[in-house]
Amino acid sequence: MQLNPHSTSKAFIRVISVICGVTLLSVFAQNREIDWEKQKAEILRHYRALVQINTSSPPGNETKAVEYLKKVLEAEGIPTRTFALDPNRANLVARLKGNGSKRPLLILAHTDVVPVQMEKWQVDPFGAVMKDGYVWGRGTIDDKDKLVSMLMMMILIKRSAVTLDRDVIFLAESGEEADTTGVGINFMVNQHFDEINAEFAITEGGSARLENGHVVTVNIGTTEKVPRRARLVATGTSGHGSVPRVDNPVTHLAMALGKLGTWEPQMHLNETTRTYFDRLAAVSPPDKAARYRALLDPQRAPQVQRYFAENEPSVYSMIRTSVVPTMLKAGVGANVIPSEAEATLDIRALPGEDIDEFYAEMKRVINDPAVKIVPIPATRPEAPPSRLDTDAYRAFEKVSKQMYPGAVVLPSMSTGASDMAQLRAKGIQSYGIGPAVTEEDRLMYGAHSDVERLSEASLYRLVEFTWNAVMEIAAKK
């Protein structure tokens, strides 16, 4: 679609604006106007095409997605560069130049997705099937919705010829979900930082909540929990399955997991979560508000823990370092007692958690010398939260108010991890955004769930939200 079919009329407006000296602002405002109704088909086409490219990681094969993006961008006259540590897992960078009066804005999304269990899906997870107003498929909400949003930013900025105060850099990065060899953000930050260095970054890590068809909260990711995974390794004596042994490592491992499963690590609030629950209470119905307020009160907090564990697990995770068993490995045959049994724990630490002390606490909880805690090397650095007093954060607040009147904007701590950790560690003020979803969507069809989906309407609004924010941050003032 041509956004500015009449370059002559644009030139005419420029002449008039120079003469009058007053309409410059309105010209830029005009360029920024997008007919979103007309944009839908193109957004959907790219989105579905990207979901249909199977980039489940490992192995990722993100280069296939990069090839798609490259073709689309270059057809628009936007040059691209690719950077690959592994040729199958390339990263793509494209830059639209600004006038250099401000430092760049980086918009990024990851191209890989988590694996699928085929039997859990009623539709092809890589079909981008459209049903009941939703697009279904792995990556529909993590992270191909942001990927297509960032792609559309580049396309629309280029076509509408918006004047930029700062460069807008697009990074489509590999290996966010499983980056054991450092092909994605680590490679870009360590080897090609000049290509992506920016004042601000926008990427995944936020969300918005839909209730009765209205957006009630807009979460902007400003900090996140830190993955500090570990393996639990139980050892014992191998032997014949017909002879029970008290040191059977499978039994010891199971008991250790049982203890960890019922253990409740110490609750802790930080500035972000305190602000978050306080603001959330202000816009919640009385029963919910009372529970959020109870969290802020040390006397009452213990009483509401169980409710959150059972009904709002993401809130439960936001207030403590969490320990979640995710994988088990033991045994070679039904009649063989193995000498070792192993579990993987997905531990997500609150920012600032002393992890060595936390492991020591876990050891006391397990209280079994046959079970060892073996830390898995950290893949992400810890970094201070992004600030709330920046032009970027103010832009999100302004745009949220414009698009979703009455919604409250919440600075939020993600329980998940994102590549913002590496960017924040390099001093880039990084903010997470995301589409509006219902409570059911969030619990049943969210990131890394058995089945993922995103409503078509939310997809379009996300692209529009991103555009408005990017224009606020980067377009010439």
Could you list the residues that contact Zn ion (CB under 5 A)?
A: 142-143, 204
Of 338 and 434, CB closest to Zn ion: 434
* Shortest distance, position 109 Cβ to Zn ion, whole Å: 8
* Shortest distance, position 173 Cβ to Zn ion, whole Å: 10
Of 233 and 437, CB closest to Zn ion: 437
* Shortest distance, position 227 Cβ to Zn ion, whole Å: 13
Of 143 and 167, CB closest to Zn ion: 143
* Shortest distance, position 177 Cβ to Zn ion, whole Å: 7
Burial of 40 (0-12, 13-18, 19+ CB in 10 A): middle
Of 86 and 204, CB closest to Zn ion: 204
* Shortest distance, position 133 Cβ to Zn ion, whole Å: 23
Radius of gyration (C-alpha) of the chain in whole angstroms = 24
Half-sphere exposure of 420 (CA within 13 A, CB side): 30
Q: Where are the alpha helices (DSSP H) in 192-325?
A: 193-196, 249-262, 271-282, 286-295, 301-311, 313-318
Of 142 and 173, CB closest to Zn ion: 142
- The residues, ordered by sequence, that sit 6+ positions from 234 with a Cβ below 8 Å of its Cβ are 249, 250, 252, 253, 256, 340, 341, 342, 368, 370, 371, 372
* Shortest distance, position 180 Cβ to Zn ion, whole Å: 16
CB atoms within 10 A of CB 46: 21
**Phi, psi (5° rounding) for residue 290?**
-60, -40
* Shortest distance, position 448 Cβ to Zn ion, whole Å: 8
Secondary-structure percent of the chain, ordered helix, strand, coil, rounded to 5 = 40, 20, 35
CB atoms within 10 A of CB 157: 26
Of 112 and 167, CB closest to Zn ion: 112
Of 204 and 353, CB closest to Zn ion: 204
Q: How far is the C-alpha of 60 from the C-alpha of 63, rounded, in Å?
A: 8
